[in-house]
Amino acid sequence: MLILFTITTEQAHDKFEYLFHQYKKLLLYKAYNILHDHAMAEDATSEAFIRIYKNLHKIDQVDSNQTISFLVTIVTNTAITIVNKEKRNNTIPVDFEQTYENHDTGYNLEEEIISETISENMLDCINSLKEELKAPFLLKYAHDYSHKEIASFLNITENNVTVRIHRAKQRLAQILHQEGYVNEI
Amino acid sequence: MKSNLKNETFFKNLATAYVERDGKHLKENELQEAATISAENLDKKLHTRLNPSRFRKWSLALVPLAAGFLIFFVYMATSHNFDNFRNEQLGIMTATPEAERDFIAEEADVADDNAFVAEDGGAADADDISSSTFFFRNREAWYGHGETTEEAEVIEHPPLTVREFFTGFTVQNVSYEEMQNTYYLTNTNHENIILIEEFEKNILDINEHFEAFDIGSITAYLLVSDNEYILTFLLYDIRYTLISTSNSDDLFILSENIISSR
């Protein structure tokens, strides 16, 4: 870890400094909205920035909408991880696999052409996804991260990343189908 | 396959459009709302995590060193205990300074006395004897007398622990190896004698210079050279070799002691 921090370039350092000072409050704000505890929100935000620091090379334009969305995706996921950890410690354990097992809709994505065009309403369908599914889906398809990198970001296994992305697509397909955006073969 | 590829393209376009819109929304709305929140502690937390203090850096560097020392000390401590345990199991007197050795010798005398009393008819209380010293336990194991205890069974080849073997001699030092114990003795004239006890089923290579003698029911072989006397014999899978630079009498006395006791 020490080596990782010491061998970073000056440019990467500047980039990180900029991201941190520009967006630290936004990320803290988003974390606080989930955790409702300032100290825990700080922990989640600092953890998110550590993860971002490790994958800084992927960020090209520090002020792009895509980058801001990416930062918020990471901090949101970090905060939710803390919530789930607290739930496990205090009350009912939340088993991701069990929670999402029942959402298997039976859609075979390989046999289904969803749509050729994207509309504003379709984007809202992504908001219907739970964060556990939305984050890996967006990291893969919007930010072009590999499953390995996503696993590192979200602190889960690569297998889990694959499962979550698959289920995110199934769930999206189901919602889009219900909304009439899917053109079946 | 074709539809799958199209689906993948669709998801990519959908996700890209989503983050573009999401980012725009965050920038225009929530970035302003978040401006009032205090991030003072966050600066400190992140700074601490990204820049470990000098003390912490030193601590991290010293951890392997400390671990090395710890392993060394544990090894030193346990190896000493293992040696003691082994010696106790074997029932061997360890080499001690003279004053301490004399004290142990006195203790051993008492133990031996108890042992003989027990052998002679159990005049002494059995519990007292069995718990008195390890000398007695080893004697029982050696002779097969009394109740067989687990400790006694463990000892296959008890070494020369009973002091009467060395009556008239002083144990100056003892060295223990895996299959061999070496006793450095002196007689009353302070002449050196070495007794080697090996867990070996074969007798030494005997050449024509060795002379055979019967000591009790055992055949011993003596070699006399210009300045050295060597006496060797095999007794119950243990090979004894005695070396003296002064005379052969001491070797015979010691041999008789050993053989008669078996």
Residues A64-113 have pLDDT tens digits of 999 999 999 999 999 988 888 877 766 544 444 444 444 445 555 555 55
Q: DSSP characters for B161-206? A: --GGGGTT-EEEEEEE-SSEEEEEEE-TT--EEEEEEE--SS----
Residue of B2, B8, B13, B19 to mutate for A, most A C-beta atoms under 10 A = B19
Token digits for A14? 């500047």
Neighboring chain A residues of B30 at a CB cutoff of 8 Å: 26, 29-30
From B48, which residue of chain A is nearest by alpha-carbon distance?
A46
- CB-based contacts of B103, cutoff 8 Å, min separation 6: none
Token pair 């074709």: residue: B2
What lies within 8 Å, CB to CB, of A139 at 6+ separation is A70, A73, A145, A149, A150, A153, A154
Helices and strands of chain B, counted as H and E runs: 9, 7
For residue A132, give both structure tokens: 């556990």
HSE, CB side, 13 Å, CA atoms: give it for residue A112.
17
Q: What is the pLDDT of residues B203-251, one digit of tens each?
A: 877 777 888 878 878 888 888 877 788 889 988 888 889 998 887 888 8
> B247-261: per-residue pLDDT in tens?
788 888 888 888 877
pTM for this entry: 0.48
User: Cβ–Cβ of B1/A141 closer than 8 Å?
Assistant: no
What gap in Å lies between CA A25 and CA B214, rounded to an integer?
100
Number of helices (H), then strands (E), belonging to chain A: the values are 9, 2
Identity of residue B214: D
Distance CA A86, CA A93 (A): 9
ipTM: 0.80
CA neighbor of B31 nearest in space, from A123, A66, A36, A28: A28
Q: Which of B144, B172, B168 is nearest to B158 (CA)?
A: B144
